[in-house]
Chain A
């Protein structure tokens, strides 16, 4: 199922599952990721699944490219139906203090904000991967009418909790961070909690996420 395995430097495997971004290819990546994770192989340091790649880094003191490659090629991979999927609802407030780029989107997409929200809220999104900053989910796919490019000049600080759109994807800024996504609202929901060491991420690859619009009052009264 992996199209090609090559080395990324001297201490990592670069597993290529294809060049497109879609659920089918991403599900294969996630299946490999979960199967390898379960094996708990001594010497593997990190697994980084993404849309269509899986990077496996290892401790060069214990293993090398050839030994890990052989292990991965001979692994039993979990079947589709064994993958667990959580369904998660994320409340989002679109008050003007939060929807920093809604005007830009109205202009770029040539539709009203009400239309943007109508197409965004209630729709099911698939989590392709998490990362860049701790816990940030990369969710897809947005309808064609909602697809816009990144800001020409990225913000130096995107506020924590911001919900952003770019191309076919949506995400949530789990921490204040630089970034160039089009921000349409903010969630009071904690998406990443480092005190939960077993599972700090609310949203994990393979999960299904829906966003629900809330009022400003609901935003400030959110007690999770």
Chain B
């Protein structure tokens, strides 16, 4: 029935359908999920003329190799990504933040993200995906969302309907900048840690460990000493919360986090820094900088305004 589709010749490492995520389900154990880097997710949709919250394909490190069949369609990739478009007689290297047109039989080879983690692929149409609680976002843990709640796999097909008739190409001048200083607000168990531990947290460097994924980011560095209790009575978690278990190494909760946890919370990453935080690759060095609530609120307003400005330029 539906004749437009991608054949997934190589799925990539962690390739999932994501949109804006789902709310009001933490109390039953379902986290927000959604695109990790919300700014890049929205921009990818706008570049192909979609509403900003349409389903996209999110990939990490190595992206998918897709062969396209169907009527002409536009796509755009955001993040910091190396990709190649292979046509019958030639191949061109593509640029992020710019839309391109795919014709029947073309291949899109998303080779890798450059010194960043996540990239987004949007197409000028609608991926045929199932929604649960108004979101297609895949939660592989509970098999919720598009593609039966699973990662995209080699050999499968991904159908697309309602392709836009207007295929004019769009472009945005934007470079995905990096941060090294992560701004945080003190957590609810900040006083569980020794004075030395608190000092270490705000002054020393931490290295992002390989054990990082959509659920959380583990850090390595000088140990943060707990002087009260290395466990708390289990309570709610949110993305951005930094827990310190008994081993003294902080873990930052990310979008697919478990909804309840029992380790003390030393801090919370401010909303304005979340999109940039998730893009940091294992091995990156970061420092935490303390900010107050009022400043965090202002910083988020500015960040959101900047995102809205970028979207309106497209």
Binding site for B on A (CB under 8 A): 6-12, 14, 19, 21, 33, 45-55, 57, 60-61, 64-65, 129-136, 138, 174-175, 177, 192, 194, 197, 200-201, 204-205
Contacts and interface: CB of A to CB of B under 8 A. Distances in A.
Contact of A197 (B132, B185, B234): B132
A110 B240 CA distance: 43
Given A9-B185, A133-B142, A48 B268 contact: no
B21 to A, nearest CB: 9
Given A10-B271, A10-B293, A21-B233, A132 B142 contact: no
Contacts of B174: none
Given A9-B240, A60-B271, A201-B28, A132 B297 contact: no
Contacts of B27: 33, 46-49, 129-131, 205
Given A10-B300, A194-B144, A55 B29 contact: no
A53 B233 CA distance: 9
Given A8-B241, A45-B23, A134-B142, A51 B234 contact: yes
B143 interface: yes
Nearest to A137: B29
Given A10-B270, A10-B300, A129-B27, 13 more contacts: A7-B293, A8-B241, A9-B268, A9-B270, A46-B23, A50-B236, A51-B233, A60-B300, A61-B304, A131-B259, A175-B142, A194-B142, A197-B133
Contacts of B169: none
A9 B26 contact: no
Contacts of A49: 27, 236
Given A10-B185, A10-B297, A33-B27, A132 B259 contact: yes
A135 B143 contact: no
B34 to A, nearest CB: 11
A14 B268 CA distance: 12
A68 B25 CA distance: 19
Contacts of A8: 187-188, 238, 241, 265, 268
Contacts of B163: none
7 contacts: A8-B187, A9-B241, A50-B234, A55-B238, A132-B259, A132-B260, A194-B142
B141 interface: yes
Contacts of A50: 233-236, 260
A145 B270 CA distance: 45
B94 interface: no
A33 B28 CA distance: 12
A190 to B, nearest CB: 13
Contacts of A205: 27
B110 interface: no
Contacts of B188: 6, 8, 14
A10 B268 contact: yes
Q: Which of B141, B235, B258, B261 gathers most chain A CB within 10 Å?
A: B235
A50 B90 CA distance: 58
Contacts of A7: 185, 293
Interface in B211-268: 233-238, 240-241, 258-261, 265, 268
Contact of A138 (B144, B234, B237, B241): B234
B266 to A, nearest CB: 12
Chain A interface mostly: loop
B26 A47 contact: yes
Given A19-B233, A55-B235, A48 B26 contact: yes
Contacts of B85: none
Nearest to B143: A194
A50 B16 CA distance: 30
A133 B132 CA distance: 17
Given A50-B234, A51-B233, A60-B300, A192 B26 contact: no
B111 interface: no
A46 B24 CA distance: 4
Contacts of B77: none
B60 interface: no
Contacts of B24: 45-47
B269 interface: yes
B28 A133 contact: no
A59 to B, nearest CB: 9
Contacts of B304: 60-61
B310 interface: no
Contacts of B23: 45-46
A45 B32 contact: yes
B47 interface: no
B297 A64 contact: yes
B296 interface: yes
Contacts of B265: 8
A46 B300 CA distance: 19
B300 to A, nearest CB: 5
Interface string B270-314: 110000000000000000000001001100100010000000000
A21 B235 CA distance: 11
A201 B260 CA distance: 16
